Amino acid sequence: MKTSINEESIFYQSGDHIIVDDRKINIVTKFDEPLIVVLDNVLSDQECDKLIEFSKDNLKRSKISSSGEGEVNDIRTSSSMFFQGNENDILEKLEKRISAIMCIPIEHAEGIQILKYTPGQEYKAHFDFFNSASKAAKNNRISTLVIYLNDVEEGGETYFPKLNLSISPKKGSAVYFEYFYNNEDLNELTLHGGAPVIKGEKWVATQWMRKQKIR
């Protein structure tokens, strides 16, 4: 199915790597439409460990927010928390790096969300953008970066069921995707989920960007 011809994308990085913060972030795989990019070396091991350490005492059962109003639901069985942004030096530095990778100014960034899944926990297939009838859709999300903070022993892949695409978590790597296309069919192809963890724990940091400034 060919849904569109070369829609403009937000993420304009080309070549096989990006240099941010003196760090060489590798572009490992690219899926063109919708644009999905797997990146490696986004965070150092130490940065991953710190994010887990900072968040682990503040995790609560995750809510879903397709309507912009969170509710607890079986769709999402993980635990999670949001950072407010620039709580500490590491977070400030990471937000800047993430904003550079995603080609969107930091003012459009929601607080980074940390998610933890234990065996059996998952995030069923969903869209990250809010449905058009909701209040939150007035300043909707446009792109996502999911960063893996640890290696998962088994399971926990991020999967895109409409694209037959699946990404295995790897500490410090990430998957980027965007859903701000004029063609709604392309946006809907970004349906994705976090498969159940089978063995071990899975920790991710998610960054969502909004169309307009929120800070």
Ligand X SMILES: O=C(O)CCC(=O)C(=O)O
- The contact set with ligand X (CB under 6 A) reads 115, 123, 128, 146, 158, 192, 194, 204, 206
- Closest distance of CB 5 from ligand X, Å: 28
DSSP letter assigned to residue 109: B
| C-alpha to C-alpha distance for 211 and 180, rounded to whole angstroms | 9
| Residues numbered 104-133 forming contacts with Fe ion, rule: CB under 5 A | 128
Going by C-alpha positions, the residue among 120, 5, 6, 114 that lies closest to residue 59 is 114
List the single partner that 181 binds among Fe ion, ligand X, none, CB under 5 to 8 Å by kind.
none
b/e 7-40 (16+ beta carbons within 10 angstroms → b): bebbbebeeeebebeeeebebbeeeebbbbbbbe
- Closest distance of CB 88 from ligand X, Å: 22
Q: How far apart are the first and last CA of the chain?
A: 39
| Residues numbered 58-87 forming contacts with Fe ion, rule: CB under 5 A | none
Interhelix angle 89-102/45-55, rounded to 10 degrees, is 120
- Closest distance of CB 46 from Fe ion, Å: 26
- Closest distance of CB 137 from ligand X, Å: 16
List the single partner that 155 binds among ligand X, Fe ion, none, CB under 5 to 8 Å by kind.
none
List the single partner that 121 binds among ligand X, Fe ion, none, CB under 5 to 8 Å by kind.
none
Question: Binding to Fe ion by residue 178, rule CB under 5 A?
Answer: no
